[in-house]
Chains A and B, each alone.
Chain A
Amino acid sequence: MKATTKERLAPWLAVIALLAIWEGTVRALNVPPFLFPGALATFEAMITFAGPISMHSWQTLWTTVVGFGLGVAVGLVLGFIIGSSRFMYRACYPLLVGFNAIPKVAFVPILVVWFGIGSVPAILTAFLICFFPIVVNVATGLATLEPELEDVLRVLGAKRLDVLLKVGLPRSLPYFFASLKVAITLAFVGTVVSETVASNQGIGYLMMSAGSQMRMPLVFAGLIVISAMAMVMYELFAVLEKRMTRWAHRGQDR
């Protein structure tokens, strides 16, 4: 087997190994499935409940994507504002750090009071949790500019906005795309957390209610579906990142 094919198969081998260890441990220790179902039982639940699972996954997926979209829009604008001036950077950065330190679960009860239970709190929680890395990355990309290059352009009569559009923005693109990968996974966390607390739809809700009925295989099926969705989205943005900012990955792409 060639080294490259080996590398390509490696993640799948790891998954299979993990599943095998999981199933093996559960069987060897004889754990009852209502406490900790094995891989096979989970897989079985996934097939039996394919209908409800796909319905709830769709709910989780679209709320996550909408929240993520909001996060990207707001993150870009805020990042641009903060990164474009030293003053704004100094002024806003501590606030953002403080805001980011608040556990986003703490917002869910407030959002429920404001918007009731359902999709809106899920979308907003996803948004709140995911926009921060985007802001920080875009702002940093814009703020790091070689002073000499700025001189070269300023002497030609370039205005601040020229420099930002010609140099700052393209330069911050790799940072931006890198942050999207982080943000999309965070957005899933936000949605699912909100669904567990305040919704009657979505994978979070499904797991919650299945858990309360001790149907653990279904709970685990939910977990696996979430992580699968997050992985697919992550890979999607990883590919997008490589496509859009090839110049920043020189030498690595092969």
Chain B
Amino acid sequence: MTATTTETPAATAAGSERAFVDFEGVSLAYDDSGNAIEDISLSIRDGEFVAIVGPSGCGKSTFMKLCTGLHGPTQGSVRVAGEPVTGPLKISGMAFQNANLLPWRTTLDNVLLPLEIVRPYRSQFRKRRAEFVGWARELLRTVGLEGYEDQFPWQLSGGMQQRASICRALIHQPKLLMLDEPFAALDAFTREELWCVLRDLWQAQRFTVVLVTHDLREAAFLADTVYVMSKRPGRIVERREIDLPRPRELETTYREPFTSLVLELRAQIGEIRGGAA
């Protein structure tokens, strides 16, 4: 299994044009029970869309915590934008499977929440509020939530809540968007709709995305590069560039060569799970 990690030099080579996120031999153990992730080396280009797939409990979420500086590595080093990560990285925005909107705030106020917290906007919030509201409305419009700004989250459907959650993650114009299975709780149609929303947002703004997912079609449709992680302790066992032309249309996911690509990935994951699939 370790043999495949020899692919990582290639990864660094590909990313050498400009590494935005740079992991070097990173391991993390939460306690004495062993490493959650082990010896991860990879680099992500500025503006690259990366998807991380792997079996449950392989440490994908741990990877996110390391990337955003919410957790420090036990071994190795994590650098983002050339700087070693020492604490929470405010140039990142996060969204999770659960939209986690605050029920007492309107959709608009939920999206504005990060600006009330993150520097330098925090101290300007009162003065520039009108401008910030403009940003939020614009963002909500691009994800198709125009007209829902003053609704409360519990008046929105699950898919709409997730759109708002992504807006909240993007409102402070982060360089790095971290998504932890953001579409997993949605029905298939809504999920595919949101793939396209995310695709368009990314195409327009070109932030760097790390998408953690179980869904191989999702990974292959959206990402430039897919990393496959092994069972715990999580290692990167495969790096795969998706060189399908962009912009990608949803229909391509039902045709060759997309389908065989997903099948190959699927076979790989099956192998990692020990043929239990």
User: Interface on A for B, CB 8 Å cutoff?
Assistant: 146, 148-149, 151-158, 162, 166-167, 170-171, 173, 245, 247-248, 250
User: Known interface pairs A170-B104, A247-B152. Does A156 touch B117 (Cβ–Cβ under 8 Å)?
Assistant: yes
Chain B residues with CB below 8 A from A153, complex form: 113-114, 117
CB atoms of A157 and B88 under 8 A apart: yes
10 further contact pairs, Cβ within 8 A, besides A155-B69, A248-B103: A151-B94, A152-B100, A155-B89, A157-B119, A166-B116, A170-B102, A171-B104, A173-B104, A245-B104, A250-B152
Chain B residues with CB below 8 A from A245, complex form: 104
B154 contacts which of A154, A156, A157, A247 (Cβ < 8 Å)? Answer: A247
Q: In whole angstroms, how far apart are the Cα atoms of A158 and B117 in the complex?
A: 6
User: Nearest chain B CB to A245's CB is how many angstroms away?
Assistant: 8
Chain B, interface size: which category? 20 to 34
Q: What are 27 A-B pairs at a CB distance below 8 A?
A: A146-B98, A148-B96, A148-B98, A148-B180, A151-B68, A151-B70, A151-B94, A152-B96, A152-B100, A152-B114, A154-B70, A154-B88, A155-B68, A155-B69, A156-B90, A156-B172, A157-B90, A157-B118, A157-B119, A166-B116, A167-B102, A170-B102, A170-B104, A171-B102, A247-B103, A250-B152, A250-B154
Chain B residues with CB below 8 A from A170, complex form: 102, 104
Label chain A's interface by main secondary structure.
helix
Chain B residues with CB below 8 A from A152, complex form: 94-96, 100, 114, 168-169
Residue B161, interface by CB 8 Å: no
Chain B residues with CB below 8 A from A158, complex form: 117
Contact with A along B50-90 (1 / 0, CB 8 A): 00000000000000010011100000000000000000111
Q: In whole angstroms, how far apart are the Cα atoms of A173 and B112 in the complex?
A: 21
Q: In whole angstroms, how far apart are the Cα atoms of A146 and B104 in the complex?
A: 15
Q: In whole angstroms, how far apart are the Cα atoms of A103 and B44 in the complex?
A: 65
CB atoms of A166 and B113 under 8 A apart: yes
Q: In whole angstroms, how far apart are the Cα atoms of A154 and B71 in the complex?
A: 11
User: Nearest chain B CB to A101's CB is how many angstroms away?
Assistant: 35
Residue B162, interface by CB 8 Å: no
User: Nearest chain B CB to A211's CB is how many angstroms away?
Assistant: 49
Q: In whole angstroms, how far apart are the Cα atoms of A96 and B121 in the complex?
A: 41
CB atoms of A162 and B117 under 8 A apart: yes
Closest 7 CB pairs of A and B: A156-B118, A149-B100, A148-B96, A247-B104, A247-B103, A156-B117, A158-B117
CB atoms of B114 and A156 under 8 A apart: yes
Q: In whole angstroms, how far apart are the Cα atoms of A85 and B100 in the complex?
A: 22
Q: Which residue of A lies closest to B116 (CB)?
A: A166
Chain B residues with CB below 8 A from A247, complex form: 103-104, 152, 154
